């Protein structure tokens, strides 16, 4: 799936860091995983469109998604405040993380599915 397309259904609706029209050489790992889950038919695109932002889920799945996804992300070491050692309470993760946390909470994906597409 072209980068432009997944930015439209993952980054634009869910990621507070996304700026339309700005060229970003790197893509966060979570968005790539969501894209691959859709591309391989493990989840459908309508499920992504039904995701609701829920900060409780982000905290709940922070460690599990760090192990399954974020540890492979190019932004983890320096740029990602959400996965830093001392994140403030009002920080949002990237859009891909928001989507993965929601899908995981509702049993639509698990760690194995995420690992299989990386
Ligand atoms: S939450 Fe941070 S480390 Fe995890 S995928 Fe998103 S940008 Fe990368």
Instruction: Return the pLDDT at 4.
Output: 65
CB of 93 sitting under 6 A from ligand 1: yes
Alpha helices in 1-118 (DSSP H): 3-6, 12-14, 29-39, 45-49, 55-60, 62-68, 95-105, 111-116
Query: pLDDT for 5-38, tens place per residue?
Result: 888 999 999 999 998 877 677 789 999 999 999 9
Note whether 31 and 24 are within 8 A (CB). no
Ligand 1, atom 2, lies closest to the CA of 80
Global confidence as pTM: 0.92
Distance 84 CA to ligand 1 centre (A): 10
Alpha helices in 55-94 (DSSP H): 55-60, 62-68
Distance 10 CA to ligand 1 centre (A): 13
3-class secondary-structure state, position 81 = coil
| Contacts of 32 by beta carbon, 8 Å cutoff, 6+ apart | 96, 118
| Structural domain boundaries in the chain | 31-116
Distance 29 CA to ligand 1 centre (A): 6
Integer Cα distance of 40 and 70 in angstroms: 20
CB of 95 sitting under 6 A from ligand 1: no
- In this structure, what is the dihedral angle of CA atoms 53, 36, 10, 78, given to the nearest 10 degrees? 80
Q: Which of 15, 77, 83 to mutate to test the pocket of ligand 1 (most atoms within 8 A of CB)?
A: 83
**Atom of ligand 1 at shortest distance to CA of 73?**
8
Integer Cα distance of 21 and 88 in angstroms: 29
Note whether 83 and 71 are within 8 A (CB). no
Query: pLDDT for 60-102, tens place per residue?
Result: 999 999 999 999 999 998 889 999 988 887 899 999 999 999 9
């Amino acid at each position: 799936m072209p980068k432009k397309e997944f930015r439209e259904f993952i980054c634009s609706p869910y990621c507070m860091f996304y700026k339309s029209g700005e060229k970003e050489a790197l893509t966060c790992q979570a968005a790539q995983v969501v894209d691959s889950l859709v591309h391989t038919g493990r989840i459908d695109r309508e499920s992504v469109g039904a995701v609701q932002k829920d900060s409780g889920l982000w905290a709940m799945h922070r460690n599990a998604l760090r192990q399954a996804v974020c540890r492979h992300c190019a932004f983890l070491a320096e740029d990602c405040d959400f996965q830093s050692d001392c994140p403030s309470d009002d920080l949002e993760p990237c859009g891909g993380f928001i989507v993965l946390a929601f899908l995981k909470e509702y049993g639509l994906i698990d760690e194995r599915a995420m690992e299989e597409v990386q």
